[in-house]
């Protein structure tokens, strides 16, 4: 899965090019779009392997999209079977719960739904996202543990482990894993092998890991298995 980086704004050329080079049988993409996107462009992007659009709004002042764009765009992409990928803070999830309940498209909550350390699974966002996942309307991406960790790389982001395990215990059938490479938020880049190995810290069940790494993403992104 290739996601259009924020620095490219709504220009998804690099994402589409990467999918073409890898082959549509091997890759899918997430675009960033504005509501003025044409129907023809949506159809073309679908043929090129795009399967969702991302709203990176955890820091709105740097965003190229806005909360007001989520609902109208979700209505248009739902017909294509795409999802909206939401990089929001936990508090933003709570503040926009009513909208999330209305959205016609499937949702993917980025980076473990950005639950804050001080609250963890007791934050109201956990129950909101879990309810959506239980009803088959949402997925959670297990990625970017360093974004909210206070312990950091030296301690293998151990303070994020309880939240990751909580998601795995709650909705293993609605989880996918992501590396978040190339880690643009980080001055000291994490080891991608270490990030991958964290999944073994979060669950020791081989069947669950295969579900998160293979079966679930095949369903979400439309791969044959």
What is the per-residue pLDDT across 82-109, written as a single tens digit (0 to 9) for each?
Answer: 999 999 999 999 999 999 999 999 999 9
What is the per-residue pLDDT across 135-152, written as a single tens digit (0 to 9) for each?
Answer: 999 999 999 999 999 999
What is the per-residue pLDDT across 161-220, written as a single tens digit (0 to 9) for each?
Answer: 999 999 999 999 999 999 999 998 888 899 999 999 999 999 999 999 999 999 999 999
Where do the structural domains in the chain lie, given as residue ranges? 88-221
Name the pTM for this structure.
0.95
Identify the CATH class of 88-221.
alpha beta
Q: Under a CB-based contact definition with an 8 Å cutoff, are residues 9 and 64 in contact? A: yes
What is the per-residue pLDDT across 36-47, written as a single tens digit (0 to 9) for each?
Answer: 999 999 999 999
Residues 6 or more apart from 161 whose CB is under 8 A from it? 198, 201, 202
């Amino acid at each position: 899965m290739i996601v259009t980086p924020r620095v490219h704004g709504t220009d998804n050329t690099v994402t589409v090019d990467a999918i073409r080079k890898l082959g549509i049988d091997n890759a899918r993409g997430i675009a960033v779009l504005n509501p003025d996107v044409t129907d023809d462009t949506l159809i073309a992007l679908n043929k090129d392997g795009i399967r969702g659009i991302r709203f990176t709004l955890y820091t709105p002042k740097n965003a190229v999209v806005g909360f007001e764009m989520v609902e109208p765009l979700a209505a248009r992409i739902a017909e294509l079977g795409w999802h909206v990928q939401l990089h929001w803070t936990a508090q933003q999830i709570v503040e926009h719960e009513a909208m999330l309940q209305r959205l016609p498209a499937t949702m993917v909550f980025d980076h473990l739904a950005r639950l804050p350390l001080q609250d963890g699974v007791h934050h109201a966002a956990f129950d909101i996202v879990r309810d959506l996942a239980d009803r088959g309307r949402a997925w959670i991406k297990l990625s970017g543990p360093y974004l909210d960790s206070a312990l950091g790389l030296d301690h293998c982001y151990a303070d994020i482990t309880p939240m990751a395990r909580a998601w795995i215990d709650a909705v293993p059938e609605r989880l996918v894993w992501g590396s978040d490479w190339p880690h643009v938020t980080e001055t000291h880049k994490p080891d991608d092998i270490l990030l991958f190995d964290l999944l073994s810290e979060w669950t020791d069940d081989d069947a669950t890991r295969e579900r998160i790494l293979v079966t679930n993403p095949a369903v979400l992104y439309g791969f044959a298995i």
